[in-house]
Structure 1
């Protein structure tokens, strides 16, 4: 997931659903479709009517029983309605002050210059060793019933690893969800910030010990012990720390899915993806960074709630077969095989949720 896109050009969608109102998208030299945040001007798509005869709504929740019909409408006409919904989301997403992250003294602590935390929701660090800066590229993100259910953070840089652990200690974080490799496609995405098993390391005042590592199907679980002196970090539940590389794309996708499951269970099986993503974007910019990630949230819930409810027509569908269909569909959006690294990372996230029995309970992971 690259946060900066070099040599971008604006091109037309190959298969326009409505030539009277063309859809322009940002396309990179490798063919990847990115979000619309940098498009010049507004993209206008005419109002259309869905298969049911009603206007396709991007604001109202969708009943679980109607989700398949709604997602089918989003995919119709070469993903026209999906593009429209995501473009609308990007247009209305808040742009809040980011003065602290953009200040000259803190710019070197940002992995990507265009992704910095909003001032109002940023995590403020307390000094532990003299006069330390309170800045880290991270934001509190609201959950379903908790205003600070998550912390969305960029991956640590060499100079911010100690700050990363200072945040973990001070916020009493017990769960870390890492959704990036240290290196992807030859690019450094994250600094190694944990020790090898059996070799404790101090990061500033925080001592970290890698107790054990468990290799699962598509992810790895690490159990870490964290302490300062004789004081150990408590096991009570505090914000879940989630990071990818920039802390917006895969991170936002994870937060949206996890939060939506809790909302769906509490709100009589309604799915409100548009407003959920909009709400988390109030706390950190560019959360759910691409239209492909946005569509993935729909697809995840389509599959996950079919597992629980088994709607008519899907009773005997196997998950592997469904993933093959998603592979084919995403190729239509991205068209290039060299994007499979990012796609696999998304499916690793998919497997992570499925293995956590996502249809039955909120997610509780060991450190990973």
Structure 2
């Protein structure tokens, strides 16, 4: 039963027991004689296939190193694999294709994880939004300082912001629990008859990374995003293929936590299953530094457990559930983050 599977999942959070188990036991191995036999029978083709398989898993940062001025931090690299590549038009240099953003497409969501715009990358930011037909933006910082994020929209209704060929006007705004939700009209001089609507959800309760939000507030924000995505995808042309743009400052810590949480919650909602480490590993493969921070990991763990209980997949009065929550909260201190 789904309840049984989730009780098995809770055993993952028994930290003391996990520490007794060597990770080496989880490595898939083959008998030495079988290995030699396989190499003998397959010969050169097997060796070349094994080498090619290893090489495919290698990641590169060529574009990152060639565009250092566009990056917020020199130690938060962008992998070429999965990176958003900007198309160029008559107003752009043919070589101006770089932006610090990663597109991850999965059956549990289509996302762009991005560094927040800098003043000198604001035009690239708008180009990406236009090119990818972005209809929903999730901003996970309170936008209280221009150092964290260049202003790319106005907060007051009726105000507009112009930048080169782009104009973005704030049409409506409302407060929903811990989110400010904006409806924006986005225009491009090169496509005068193609004004677009963008829905922006600004979550304001995670200003300092070591002071994360309560899981229930984080989940409430996620549900607001889901509802907005459903609404945005029900109108307009070809919106179903439009990714959701998610950003904080670096596009790795808060951003990665939200994206993985959303993917796992959709998996639980649709299939009553969870693939915690598999999903984390997939996102980390394409976006550097995601889940590096232990506090982000504990926020993720508690949030998905609370969601599982909300879905009725596990009984929140169950002792294992309660112990799992307790272990998560005690697993890391601010000094260890």
When normalised by structure 1's length, the TM-score is 0.61
Q: Which residue of 2 aligns with 1:112?
A: 73
2:159 is aligned with 1:156: no
Report the 3-state secondary structure (helix = DSSP H, G, I; strand = E; otherwise coil) of the residue aligned with 2:99: coil
Counterpart among 122, 127, 143 of residue 166 in structure 1: 127
Q: Distance in 2 between matches of 1:82 and 1:127?
A: 52
Give unpaired runs (5+ residues) of structure 2: 28-53, 198-235
Q: Distance in 1 between matches of 2:120 and 2:126?
A: 12
Q: Per-residue deviation at 1:81? A: 7.8
Q: Which residue of 1 aligns with 2:150?
A: 191
Q: Per-residue deviation at 1:102? A: 1.1
In the TM superposition, 1:232-271 aligns within 5 A as 232-233=195-196, 235=236, 236-237=239-240, 238-267=242-271, 269-271=272-274
Aligned residue pairs total 256
Q: Deviations over 1:144-169 (max 9, x none)?
A: 266xx111100111111111011001
Q: Distance in 1 between matches of 2:21 and 2:261?
A: 18
Q: Distance in 2 between matches of 1:97 and 1:142?
A: 19
Q: Distance in 1 between matches of 2:65 and 2:180?
A: 34
Q: Per-residue deviation at 1:64? A: 5.3
Q: Which residue of 2 aligns with 1:131?
A: 93
- Indicate how the Cα distance of structure 1 residues 214 and 204 shifts in structure 2: closer, same or farther if over 3 A, else same: same
- Indicate how the Cα distance of structure 1 residues 81 and 281 shifts in structure 2: closer, same or farther if over 3 A, else same: farther
Is 125-134 or 73-82 further displaced after alignment? Answer: 73-82
2:294 is aligned with 1:334: no
Give unpaired runs (5+ residues) of structure 1: 1-61, 316-321, 340-368
Q: Distance in 2 between matches of 1:252 and 1:159?
A: 24
Q: Distance in 1 between matches of 2:255 and 2:23?
A: 23
2:183 is aligned with 1:179: no
Matched-pair contact (CA < 8 Å) for 2:15–2:327: no
Q: Which residue of 2 aligns with 1:44?
A: none
Q: Distance in 1 between matches of 2:21 and 2:300?
A: 12
Report the 3-state secondary structure (helix = DSSP H, G, I; strand = E; otherwise coil) of the residue aligned with 1:270: coil
Matched-pair contact (CA < 8 Å) for 2:116–2:251: yes
Q: Distance in 1 between matches of 2:20 and 2:138?
A: 32
Q: Which residue of 2 aligns with 1:225?
A: 185
Q: Distance in 1 between matches of 2:18 and 2:174?
A: 39
Matched-pair contact (CA < 8 Å) for 2:173–2:181: yes
Q: Per-residue deviation at 1:75? A: 4.1
Q: Distance in 2 between matches of 1:313 and 1:248?
A: 31
In the TM superposition, 1:1-368 aligns within 5 A as 65-68=4-7, 70-77=9-16, 80=19, 96-103=59-66, 106-128=67-89, 129-131=91-93, 133-144=96-107, 149-183=110-144, 188-195=147-154, 196-228=156-188, 229-233=192-196, 235=236, 236-237=239-240, 238-267=242-271, 269-309=272-312, 311-314=314-317, 330=329, 333-335=332-334
- Indicate how the Cα distance of structure 1 residues 134 and 73 shifts in structure 2: closer, same or farther if over 3 A, else same: closer
Report the 3-state secondary structure (helix = DSSP H, G, I; strand = E; otherwise coil) of the residue aligned with 1:123: strand
- Indicate how the Cα distance of structure 1 residues 193 and 77 shifts in structure 2: closer, same or farther if over 3 A, else same: same
Q: Distance in 2 between matches of 1:119 and 1:142?
A: 15
When normalised by structure 2's length, the TM-score is 0.66
| Largest Rg, 1 or 2 | 2
Q: Distance in 2 between matches of 1:112 and 1:83?
A: 35
Q: Distance in 1 between matches of 2:59 and 2:82?
A: 10
Matched-pair contact (CA < 8 Å) for 1:250–1:288: no
Matched-pair contact (CA < 8 Å) for 2:291–2:297: yes
Q: Per-residue deviation at 1:74? A: 2.2
